[in-house]
Amino acid sequence: MRDDNERLLDILEAIEKIEKRAPSNREAFDADEMVQTWVLHHLQVLGEAARALSEDFRAAHADFPWKGIVGMRNILVHRYFEIDTDLVWSAVQTQLPDLKAKVLEALDV
């Protein structure tokens, strides 16, 4: 079974993979279905890793947006036809940088 540290590393890796391929503007994101699929997949991985963190860890790090992360994962996995690309783009551009900083802090890197 993976521990919380390994799950945090999974989250960090997913963020870094999104950063590697996500375009710098919305028009390029909308125009490239492969990039959209890449981003959605890694958001699912990120959400699954967050969902699997221990309750103790999540309680100790209540400043992380756990409910939103897991909620997005649930939509991406179970409600595929309800995916809002505006929300996905917003998450990638505005929320992932903050999440990455918090993960790095929790990992004490």
Q: How far apart are CA 75 and CA 5, in angstroms?
A: 25
Model-level pTM?
Answer: 0.93
Which residues in 25-56 are b (16+ Cβ under 10 Å) and which e?
eeeebeeeeebbebbbebbbbbbbbbeebeee
Number of domains in the chain: 1
Average pLDDT over residues 75-85: 89
Domain limits at 56? 4-107
The pLDDT of residue 16 is 98
Catalytic choice (7, 21, 41, 78): 78
Catalytic choice (7, 51, 73, 79): 73
> Is residue 78 among the annotated active site residues?
yes
Does 40 have pLDDT greater than 70? yes
Average pLDDT over residues 82-98: 93
Does 109 have pLDDT greater than 80? no
Confidence at 39, pLDDT banded by 50, 70, 90 = very high
